[in-house]
Amino acid sequence: MQRRRTGTIAVVSALGMTAVLGGCGLTGDSDGVTLKLVAADYGDSKDSSSQKYWDELAESYEAQNPDVRVDVTVYSWNDVDRKVRELVDAGEAPDMAQIGAYSDYADQDLLYRADDVLSVPAQADFVPQLAAAGQVNGVQYGLPFAASTRVLFYNKTLFERAGVRPPKSWDDLAEAAEALKEKGAKYPYALPLGAEEAQAETMQWMLSGGGGYTDDVGTYAVDSPQNATTFTWLRDELVGKGLTGPVAPGKLDRADAFAAFAAGDVGMLNGHPSLMKTASDKGVKYGMVTTPGVDGESKNTLGVSDWMTAFKKNGHQKEIGDFLDFVYSEENVLDFSREYNLLPVTTSASRTMSAAPEDENLKPFLDELLLSELYPVGKTSWAEVSADVKKHIGEAVAPGRDPKEVLGRIQATAMRAGSAE
């Protein structure tokens, strides 16, 4: 099968994974139905492009279903959401799109429901937290496609030099950061609240302090007392004491923090599975522990998912459903997860991976997935709120700033955006 790809622009997905621009998919004609799929690229080079995964998957499916052709176009994460939006606005929606968000399309009644296209066993196999995050008003439209969680990474060499143990609580973390600073660590704790992925670091810290973006009934609570306490502690105990490195948190992007960790300059930071390979490739000896919380290990962690969506436009409900059942088979979910060091989105694949020796390095993340909380992606307002967090949250930990005031402004944005839903 001939494969075509274009470009090599490094970008970042909703999971925070580095990705590279792919290209157009399968070629040829068919007398039957042609399903058009637009997908995101999770590879970090041409050789690891997701185009290869989809080409092989489509070829395997077509061999079993000769009357269906699957035409796949892979774009970088920098482009894929925009490309799908352009297609939808032009009245040329694909049959399926594997992208970073779904709620806007669901709100416009452009998507099939999960139970319109998936078999009952396939739909029931989704990890419950991920399936719930794919719902709008109690109905699932977003099909989780790839997942990730966060744990605290620490540099074993720097920790040994400073004579400290991995932290379990905020106080432990602050004490370790002080010791790391005394021994010359450039970034005792890397706090990336820059625009690239500030919403993730923010939520991780909110959860560790008993808060979050929303309350127990799903109402925005950005300026809750718990969140205000969390960011006041960060300002006073880490940033104000010079324990977060030479770059102001509001200017430090996740990719730069990861690169600094891989260079051996970071003592601790919150990270996802891709950091394991990045650090190992650079020879960094690292360990991973549950994110520290205010009084001990955090009871919740950040979970992130990218999404598969099925559009109604072309009316291929039956064919879409059959292909997606194939996509979400245990074998195919495992193949994709292992290829890109991501967490499987189905219970069956998670169970297999948890017991497999070859996946032992992902077990800490798999364990955290069961305790994870996802962004409020079912709210159409979330995109606007997330953008406001990326723009302003760094101010909440800046010396001399009032975290309550900054959180209050973001809350006002959230309430205004939410009122339009």
Residue 339 tokens, joined: 């290829």
pLDDT digits (tens, 9 = 90+) for 2-49: 333 333 333 345 565 544 433 433 334 446 899 999 999 988 777 888
pLDDT at 418: 86
Round to whole Å and give the CA distance between 242 and 178. Answer: 9
Residue 21 tokens, joined: 């621009």
Name which of 15-19, 54-58, 110-114, 242-246 the model is least confident about. Answer: 15-19
* Pairing relationship of beta strands 33-40 and 96-99 according to DSSP bridges: parallel
pLDDT digits (tens, 9 = 90+) for 157-192: 999 999 999 999 999 999 999 999 999 999 999 999
pLDDT digits (tens, 9 = 90+) for 309-348: 999 999 999 999 999 999 999 999 999 999 998 999 999 9
pLDDT at 374: 93
pLDDT at 8: 31
In whole numbers, what is the pLDDT of the chain averaged over residues?
91
CA-closest candidate to residue 238, choices 407, 201, 207, 230 = 230
Query: If pLDDT is split at 50, 70 and 90, which confidence band does 78 have?
Result: confident
pTM of the model: 0.85
pLDDT digits (tens, 9 = 90+) for 267-319: 999 999 989 989 999 999 999 999 999 999 999 999 999 999 999 999 999 99
Residues 280, 283, 289, 291, CA torsion sign:
negative
pLDDT digits (tens, 9 = 90+) for 354-405: 999 999 999 999 988 888 999 999 999 998 999 999 999 999 999 999 999 9
Residue 97, pLDDT > 90, answer yes
pLDDT at 22: 39
Residue 357 burial (C-beta neighbours within 10 Å; 0-12, 13-18, 19+): exposed
Round to whole Å and give the CA distance between 202 and 213. Answer: 9
Round to whole Å and give the CA distance between 308 and 375. Answer: 16
Mean pLDDT in residue range 260-273: 97
